[in-house]
Amino acid sequence: MDKEPLLQVTDLSLTVPYLGIAYPAVEHISFSMAKGDSFGLIGESGCGKSLTALAIAGLLPEQILRSSGKIIFDGVDLTQLTAQQMQAYHGDDISMVFQDSATSLNPLLTVGYQLREVIVLYCPTADTPAKQKQLAEDSLREVGLIDPAETLNKYPHQLSGGQRQRIMLAMAMLPKPRLLLADEPTTALDLTTQQQILALIRNLQIKHHLTLLMISHNMRVVQSLCQRTLVMYAGKIVEQGPTESILQQPQHPYSKALLGAMPTFDRRGKPLETVEGMVPPLYARNLACTFSPRCPRKTAECDLAVAEKKQGDRMVLCNHPE
């Protein structure tokens, strides 16, 4: 962390106000990414991973409010900007790949049309239709689509999930972003395609010196791509540290449970471990440690207070870390 941070999130809290009560969706999360870093944000559904990404991208739904915190991108606090000023940071600074490839392209417009929209806005050097078409084809070739010229004329429903996700990546990369937010880009894909897309993201990251924030509920996805991992549970970051070190020695019981739920070769034939119970809903997050109802190491003090423990470059939010 000796380099100047590109993205710095400090004390970010997001709430859902409803009938006068503000329900916490994301609580006091902080992290800092330097240029070229790749971070993994993992956790179950409903832990606030996607909301964190949407907050950084400035795409929060209107019913969700930011109650505290700063999002500093390249020295500028994005939360202080108006929508118009924010627009300047979109696309060419911060870009995003979404989860569901079935809905991330407009079903009524051809791939070529949608690529051209991005090119017109972000690639002023391509000022003739021929150049734009060339650039669109090149971008598709870069993400490994074999027949770019033909793909340009196709509609999203004529393509497979993997192809659509590649096109999404091509679109997200066209503005040459510095920060790429990838919101579970491989979740809707089968395992083989998943691996291909992950390899593609890794290549793009190296080639374009991307800073990558990868959101996933799959430890393995994060393992192959990210230097550092943030484990989120019920709106809080419960563990943070270098990916390898977390994988080898998870300190938080939730990280440990997540790793245990990952199928591995040496546990073949044994039933898959699961984390009992569910993420508490927004209205039931009043315990000091929200994981305590599902925690094997729970003691009486856990419901009253929980302490953050830092050790080297690791952080864990637990009274009884391993």
Partner 1 sequence: MSKHSPTWWKNSNFLVGGSIVCLLLLLMLTSFFWTPYSPTAPSAAAKLQAPSFIHLLGTDHLGRDVFSRIMVASQTAFLVGISSVGAGCLLGVSLGLTCGYYGGWFDLVTVRLLDAFKAIPSLLLALMMIAVFGSGMKVTVMAIALLAIPLYARMARSSAIQLKNLEYMQWTKLIGISRRRILFVHLLPNIRSPLLITASLGFASSVLTEAGLSYLGLGVQPPDPSWGKMLSEAQDYLFNAPWLALSAGLAITLLVLGFNLLGDGLRDISDYRRKD
What DSSP element (H or E) covers 25? strand 21-34
CB 4 to partner 1: min, Å: 25
Distance CA 74, CA 56 (A): 13
- Which residue, 58 or 144, has its beta carbon nearer to partner 1? 58
Q: Which two tokens stand for residue 307?
A: 């302490």
Among 107, 124, 129, 271, binds partner 1 (CB under 8 A): 107
For 315, phi then psi, to 5°, come to -135, 140
User: CA Rg, the chain, in Å?
Assistant: 21
Question: In this chain, which stretch among 103-111, 127-135, 141-149, 269-277 interacts with partner 1, using CB under 8 A?
Answer: 103-111
Question: In this chain, which stretch among 100-108, 194-202, 229-237, 291-299 interacts with partner 1, using CB under 8 A?
Answer: 100-108
Binding to partner 1 by residue 95, rule CB under 8 A?
A: yes
CB 263 to partner 1: min, Å: 29
CB contact set of 18 (below 8 Å; sequence gap of 6+): none
CA 251, 256, 258, 263 torsion: positive or negative?
positive
Question: In this chain, which stretch among 28-36, 93-101, 255-263, 301-309 interacts with partner 1, using CB under 8 A?
Answer: 93-101
CB 187 to partner 1: min, Å: 13
| Site track 46-65 with partner 1 (rule: CB under 8 A), x = hit | -----------xxx-xx---
Give me the sheet containing 314-317, strands edge to edge: 94-97, 179-183, 211-216, 38-42, 228-233, 236-242, 314-317, 308-311
Question: In this chain, which stretch among 28-36, 97-105, 136-144, 275-283 interacts with partner 1, using CB under 8 A?
Answer: 97-105
| Site track 130-159 with partner 1 (rule: CB under 8 A), x = hit | ---------------------------xx-
At CA 309, angle to CA 303 and CA 314, rounded to 5? 130
Binding to partner 1 by residue 161, rule CB under 8 A?
A: no
Binding to partner 1 by residue 96, rule CB under 8 A?
A: yes
Binding to partner 1 by residue 216, rule CB under 8 A?
A: no
CB contact set of 281 (below 8 Å; sequence gap of 6+): 46
Distance CA 126, CA 133 (A): 9
- Which H, E and C letters describe 207-256, residue by residue? HHCCEEEEEECCHHHHHHHCCEEEEEECCEEEEEEEHHHHHHCCCCHHHH
Binding to partner 1 by residue 72, rule CB under 8 A?
A: no
Binding to partner 1 by residue 117, rule CB under 8 A?
A: yes
Binding to partner 1 by residue 121, rule CB under 8 A?
A: yes
Question: In this chain, which stretch among 105-113, 264-272, 277-285, 288-296 interacts with partner 1, using CB under 8 A?
Answer: 105-113
Among 36, 122, 260, 309, binds partner 1 (CB under 8 A): 122
At CA 93, angle to CA 89 and CA 99, rounded to 5? 100
Q: Which two tokens stand for residue 108?
A: 């009524």
Among 16, 34, 72, 109, binds partner 1 (CB under 8 A): 109
Q: Which residues here bind partner 1, judged by CB under 8 A?
A: 57-59, 61-62, 87, 90-91, 94-96, 98-100, 103-109, 117-118, 121-122, 157-158, 171, 175
